[in-house]
Amino acid sequence: MYQIDFSNPIHIHFIGIGGISMSGLAEILLTEGFTVSGSDMHRSPLTETLEQKGITVSYRQTPANLTDDIDLIVHTAAIGAGNPELSAAVEKGIPCLTRAQLLGQMMRNYKMPVAVSGTHGKTTTTSMIAEILLKADTDPTLSIGGILRSIGGNIRIGKSDYFVTEACEYTNSFLEFFPKIGIILNIEEDHLDFFHGIDEIRDSFHRFAALLPEDGTLIVNGTIDGLETVIKELPCRIITFGDDPSFDYSFDHLTFDDAACPAFTLHTRGGQTRTVTLSVPGEHNVYNALAALALSDLLGLPTDTVLDALRDFHGTDRRFEYKGQIGGVTVIDDYAHHPTEITATLQAAQNYPHNTLWCVFQPHTYSRTKAFLPEFAQALALADRVVLADIYAAREKDTLGVSSRMLQDEIRRLGKECAYFPSFDEIENFLLENCSGGDLLITMGAGDVVKIGENLLGL
């Protein structure tokens, strides 16, 4: 594998530079004195920001983008061998790294790299940790999978030993990392276009945990099914969190305010108790906060500073994000695209003031929709009324014979009212005709469903 000499900046070209992680890595390298260019299929706020910083971005992926001065290609896992730009790079003999390999090499430049993994909650937990480290004046470098308002984007370049990033299991990409501290929030079936079931997924997380050095630490949710197979024979220290007093970090006396945001009493194995108040909704965020609290104690950060940071954290874009009101209808947007995430979001919404709870859901990828069709129906049935958009294909092609109409049938079999429309215009017109003042409308999914709420609000 090609090894970057970070003391000798070169020209690195990113194929797929507009991705949330790729754009952040490109910005870090630019700040470190590297020459950076890239390509993407679509212009976006992220690519426009890169262009404003002096990075050349091409909006076609073609061999013509490969100038003679390019020393290294970085590409995402979604860029396949058939991509004309990547194919040309290989033919030219230009060294290539995946995004994960680049990120792993960058982590080696920091004494305290922290990798946040799990099927759900990575972006929120990484953002919680970011807010804590910022409030504690630690000057961290941050790579987040969402937009965090306090840093004005998804990336922050600091000068300390702290580097915090998300670690995704898809295609085993996080096995390229070199963390000193690893966090595992949860482990469930997902990405079944790559993994062959939960056992293979658990094995992937075990291999991730095994990357931690003997003087490193794994912070892990103690309620994970099959946890013993994940943490077996690890040389590092293990800290557990969850809802049982036997864990190193646990909680009780859970309450919710009028905006569905929780407060709870934290208990540590050492006998300490603290009252924790969050400004993000849902019980699932209690678990995210426990992981952040465990890390903060491990790093020796001041307790009052940590509690203040958690209380002041209001989430990242597309995580139960308040978008506005129209005709007395509150519009929320959420990134949930897995049945567990949908359940957590809709359960949180139950504690939010509303008359009728509407969920406009855009399924994400054909493989995930087919694998979890009954589970999606059960989760979405927590809403009072469901509206479905067409499946967002992302990296896939429609070859699996699954559709949103099939999900509609499953939801109706559960006795829940469910509408389906093939276009956003039809969905927006239906909502305008049927939503009433006092209703709560959640647009949900990992695709572009956010546009529906924004169009209704005129954003």
Catalytic residues: 122-123, 166
Q: What is the DSSP string of 159-206?
A: SSSEEEEEE--GGGGGGG---SEEEE-------TTT--SHHHHHHHHH
Q: Identity (one letter) of the amino acid at 336? A: A
Q: Is there a contact between 400 and 406 (Cβ–Cβ < 8 Å)? A: no
Q: How far apart are CA 397 and CA 85, in angstroms?
A: 21
Q: How far apart are CA 294 and CA 211, in angstroms?
A: 20
Q: What is the dihedral of CA 381, 384, 390, 395, to 10 degrees?
A: -60
Q: Which residues pair with 302 in a beta bridge?
A: none
* Residues contacting 63, CB < 8 A, separation 6+: 84, 85, 87, 88
Q: Is there a contact between 261 and 279 (Cβ–Cβ < 8 Å)? A: yes
What tokens does 425 get? 């215009």
Task: Output the CA–CA distances (angstroms, integers) from residue 135 to 296, 304, 309, in the order listed.
Answer: 12, 10, 6
Q: How far apart are CA 358 and CA 346, in angstroms?
A: 10
Q: Which helix (H) or strand (E) holds 154?
A: strand 153-156
Q: Is there a contact between 368 and 190 (Cβ–Cβ < 8 Å)? A: yes
Q: Taking each helix axis from N to C terminus, what angle separates 20-31 and 99-107, rounded to the nearest 10 degrees?
A: 40
Q: How far apart are CA 11 and CA 7, in angstroms?
A: 13
Q: How far apart are CA 272 and CA 265, in angstroms?
A: 10
Q: Taking each helix axis from N to C terminus, what angle separates 373-380 and 404-413, rounded to the nearest 10 degrees?
A: 60
Q: How far apart are CA 401 and CA 382, in angstroms?
A: 26
Q: Is there a contact between 197 and 349 (Cβ–Cβ < 8 Å)? A: no
